[in-house]
Structure 1
Amino acid sequence: MPLPDVLRSLLTATGPSGYETAPARAFAEACASFADVETDVMGTVTARVKGTGDGPTVAIVGHIDEIGLIVTHIDEKGYLHFIGVGGWDPVILVGQRVELTTKDGVVPGVVGKKPIHLLKEDERKRAAELKDLHIDIGAKDGDDAKALVRIGDVAVISADPIELPNDRYVARAMDNRLGCFVAYEAARLVAEAGGAVGDVVAVAAVQEEITFAGARTVAHALRPDVALVVDVTHATDAPGIDEKENGSHPLGSGPVIERGSTMHPVVFDELVAAAEAEGLDHTLSASARFTGTDADAIHVSRQGIPTGLISLPLRYMHSPVELVQLDDVLNAAKLAAAFARRLTADTSFAR
């Protein structure tokens, strides 16, 4: 199964939190053929498919940002020092090729550290930390580096999508360009089917990896009657993951529907009913207190928004080799579209 062109365009655009312009533009361009598209001052994109009646407005929300690195210092020898944008395991960064987004375009570099041959015995016993790493762009000295890169420029790991057997794909930024693709595809399916009773709004929200800022502001402004957040979760068929703690969500098992303290029970029930009616494989997950997704911000917006969460099984989260099975993604879009089309003007989210 080929990787959809829209998903490829999202995965190959670079956009750490706060610097999401390129992937947000790709999302907006993809939605423009079937929806009314707007971009707010934060950079969040909304794509509205008008409803056929007075049914509830449904927001389907993915976050468009990814984790990255931001330059904090350029030393006299031309090495770039950095901190993480979002959560990193520093071990993953060692030896990676990176792409820095600068005012004059992309500058390639590599993440370096002291070679193992030169490490002292106590240094060999501990994992590398961010402070032990630097980015080398091949500069002769500090002035040479500063002519190419500024403090505050961001970088991502260079890792274009690759196809594996069984319709599985690997790339950086699957978290959470996948959620944005599901939002896009669900809205497209609704438009193709002639619309839903209420408006359906696909949302590419910014800054989830740092503050949920895009979700907070767009939920306040959009004021949907119900929201579906689409994000990734840990595929539990990878070594070292305990299903007793994380549930059972192997690749190929379909989208994961969340149930828990912050998830609205009517939304959960309607999602399960939609999955069963469409014959879509799915699994269930339970959470308490928070989910670690944009749902945590959206469900308490204004007077409260009935919120559901659809997750996609993903291996190796927050790495350049995030791995997903494509039919799980496509079935999540079918689920979100079916949910939106099942709602009526009489649907009540009263407790």
Structure 2
Amino acid sequence: MADNAKPWTASMPDTQFQLMHDILAAPSPIGLEAAMTEGVLKPYFEGFAPEGWAVRNFKGHAGVVLDTHPGRDDLFTVMVIGHADKIRMQVRSIGEDGKVWINSDSFLPTTLLGHEVSIFSEDPEAPGEYRRLDGGTVEALGAIHFADPKLRAGEKGVRKEQLYVELQIHGKDKKKQIEALGIRPGDSILMNRPIRRGFGPDTFYGAYLDNGLGCFVSAESARLVAESGGAQNIRMLFAAATYEEIGRFGSRVLVGEMRPDAIIGVDVNHDYVAAPGIGDRRMAPVEMGKGFTMSVGAIVSEQLNRRIEQVARDNDIPMQRDVVGADTGTDGMAGVLGNVDCAATSVGMPIRNMHTISESACTRDVLACTYAVAETLKAMDAEEKQTGVLAEAFRSQHPRLDQARSLGHQGAGDAED
């Protein structure tokens, strides 16, 4: 990459930001992800894919994969995975007073109160057809005047069983008014907050950065590879998986079906520096605005990490190491969970307020992650062209700690100055 071409140091162009907006705004609750995968990502893939590349979809779920070399199982294969499914609330029951009682899924109940939502209801008279109902808000307590003293003082919280959607229904037979709309238990509910640019330089905020951002990085890294004429010597799979929020099931299926040699999972990460109330936990100093993150620990391949880190160094792409312990918590685990032998790691972007309606991030971090992934893929493509033994290198070059060099004290240097 040319020294003067460092997009991660500049503001994201409006056209690219609009693509990110459209990906994140697509209504894709768990089990109903096609609005993002087939409505936004598939047409985008097809718009830039060179001749011979192909988009694959699946029978049991709405995941999609852009494949640079369909059928070439003999090539070293790298899969980049983001997940398209969004945390969704669901209708639990309908009250006589017109309240639509809901579950909170993976949201903290208190973060939902007062926020606008959309209900997606399957037409009872036409199974498979869906309607969208806007204008509702999530409530639990009503007016402060009716709350007990402990709630008013903040000494007591909101239970998930208290949550309902307020549709402003009034008059007679309120429950029947709701039922006449065809709203039923199990209908999906999403927060209605598309992203917009933030107050801080090169920031943005809104709902569902987790994990449309991973799908954005997958798609944009594919475009960068295509525009550079890459993917000549290895097979690349750019994936938008499903079911991550309920156990990373969709990516397991993709990996089981396509059996890549390496996986780069892409997901949001936490800004631990800004996270309130965790100072005494001594978390890794991962911070929004300081570059993409790379997982260290769990099942990650140090060989794959080494290649990513080298690319970041060579191109001056800012990178932060994140300690993940026993589990990356992302689709980077898909290979080991799916019983497929592959090198894997996880990269991402630090965000604030994860699993809320006001998730926040920095566009420079998103671009850093995108270019780090694209440049790593191109470097691996070049490595295969030069050596022809990339697969064997991953098999035979596992780090040997018994061969580690002895390290002594290096001196205080300028520490006393």
TM range (shorter): over 0.9
Aligned partner of 2:148 in structure 1 is 120
- In the alignment, the residues of structure 1 paired with residue 166 and residue 335 of structure 2 have an alpha-carbon distance, to the nearest angstrom, of 40
Residues 185-264 of structure 1 mapped to structure 2, 5 A cutoff = 185-196=220-231, 197-240=233-276, 241-242=278-279, 245-264=282-301
Q: 1:233 to 1:80 in 2, by over 3 A?
A: same
The answer to which of 122-131 and 23-32 deviates more is: 122-131
Partner in structure 2 of residue 111 of structure 1: 138
C-alpha displacement of 1:53 = 11
Change (3 A) 1:158 1:53: closer
Structure 2 distance, partners of 1:176, 1:222, is 22
Task: For residues 19-54 of structure 1, give each alpha carbon's deviation from its aligned partner in whole angstroms, at most 9, with x where no partner exists.
Answer: 212112211121112141122121111111239996
Q: Among residues 65, 72, 77, which one is paired with 2:97 in the alignment?
A: 77
1:171 maps to a residue whose letter is G
Where is the helix percentage greater, Structure 1 or Structure 2?
2
Q: Is the 8 A contact 2:120 2:187 kept in 1?
A: yes
Q: Over alpha carbons, which structure has the higher Rg?
A: 2
Alpha-carbon displacement from aligned partner over 1:225-249 (angstroms, at most 9, x marks no partner): 1010000111134152438632112
Alignment of 1:1-351 (within 5 A): 1=11, 2=14, 4-25=17-38, 26-33=40-47, 34=49, 35-40=53-58, 41-50=60-69, 55-85=75-105, 87-103=106-122, 104-108=130-134, 109-114=136-141, 115-124=143-152, 125-140=155-170, 141-148=174-181, 149-164=183-198, 165-196=200-231, 197-240=233-276, 241-242=278-279, 245-343=282-380, 344=384, 345-347=388-390, 348-350=393-395, 351=398
Mapped contact 2:80–2:266 kept (Cα < 8 A): yes
Q: Greater shift after overlay, 320-329 or 113-122?
A: 113-122
Distance 2:108 2:347 in 1: 25
For residues 234-278 of structure 1, what are the alpha-carbon distances to aligned partners after superposition, in whole Å with 9 as ceiling and x for unaligned?
Answer: 113415243863211222211111111310111111111111122
Counterpart amino acid of residue 111 in structure 1? V
CA separation of 1:98 and 1:62: change in aligned 2, threshold 3 A = same
The answer to whether the Cα contact below 8 Å between 2:101 and 2:163 also exists between their aligned partners in 1 is yes
Partner of 2:402: none
What displacement does 1:331 show? 1.4
Identity between Structure 1 and Structure 2 (%): 25
Whole-Å separation in 1 of the counterparts to 2:320 and 2:296: 11
Query: Structure 2 regions of 5+ residues with no counterpart?
Result: 1-10, 123-129, 399-417
1 CA distance for matches of 2:139 and 2:151? 15
Distance 1:232 1:244, change over 3 A: same
The secondary structure found in structure 2 opposite 1:32 is helix
Aligned equivalents of 2:88 and 2:372: distance in 1?
Answer: 31
Residue type at the aligned position of 2:42: A
Q: Distance in 1 between matches of 2:202 and 2:263?
A: 29
**Which secondary structure does the structure 2 equivalent of 1:290 belong to?**
coil
- TM-score by length of structure 2 reads 0.80
Q: Which amino acid aligns with 2:79?
A: A
In the alignment of these two chains, the number of paired residues is 350
Higher RCO (CA-CA < 8 Å; seq separation 6+): 1
Give structure 1 stretches of 5+ with no counterpart.
none
Maintained 8 Å contact 2:86/2:208? yes
The AA in structure 2 aligned to 1:201 is L
Tell whether the 8 Å contact from 1:62 to 1:229 is kept in structure 2 after alignment.
Answer: yes
Alpha-carbon contact 2:210-2:268 (below 8 Å) kept = yes
The structural deviation recorded for 1:175 is: 0.6
Structure 1 residues 89-148: Cα deviation after superposition (integer angstroms, max 9, x where no partner): 111011111111123522121112222211123444311111112112233411111122
1:309 to partner: Cα distance: 0.7
Decide whether aligned partners of structure 1 residues 42 and 146 sit closer, same or farther in structure 2, where only a CA change above 3 A counts: same
